[in-house]
Amino acid sequence: MWKLATQFQLSRVPATSLPTCRSAALYSAMAQRTPVELPGPIETQLRLKIEQAFQPTALNIENQSRQHAHHAAMRGNTNPETHFKVTIVSAKFQGMKPLQRHRAVYALAQPELDAGLHALTLKTSTPEEDSQS
């Protein structure tokens, strides 16, 4: 029986050390995992612009393009960076209404939107609002 060892290397171990077939299947699936994808140019630009403009205390950018590839508007599109979920926590949002915050982020992302970025899902908050949620 083969067992997955540190850093996805396989090593020979007695069959009794793997208690179930389910465990063996899990180890096999982990060994076939694809490496983590690196951020593309659009994600990198978004991150730099947001960090510069808002100096966030928390920033998460998640590429959700694969989840939307089947949509009619995306058929034939080969751009792997069309949809992002962006969460920003920044003191710079203090005194701004949610719509004003979103408009500010969209204004930063306008060149990327013109170049093929299709959609942003935004969650914007101040540190105080974030600590309450």
Is 18 within a domain? yes
Domain that holds residue 100: 41-132
Number of domains composing the chain? 2
Is 49 within a domain? yes
CB atoms within 10 A of CB 24: 16
* 73 half-sphere exposure, CB direction, 13 A CA radius: 9
In a shared domain, residues 112 and 54:
yes
Beta strands 2-4 and 10-12, pairing class: antiparallel
Please give the model's pTM, rounded to 2 decimal places: 0.65
Query: What's the rounded Cα separation, in Å, for the pair 91 and 71?
Result: 36
Tokens standing for residue 27 = 């180890």
The pLDDT tens digits along the chain (133 residues) read: 444 444 444 445 444 444 444 455 444 444 444 445 677 888 889 999 999 999 999 999 998 877 645 554 445 555 556 788 999 999 999 999 999 999 999 999 999 988 888 789 999 999 999 999 7
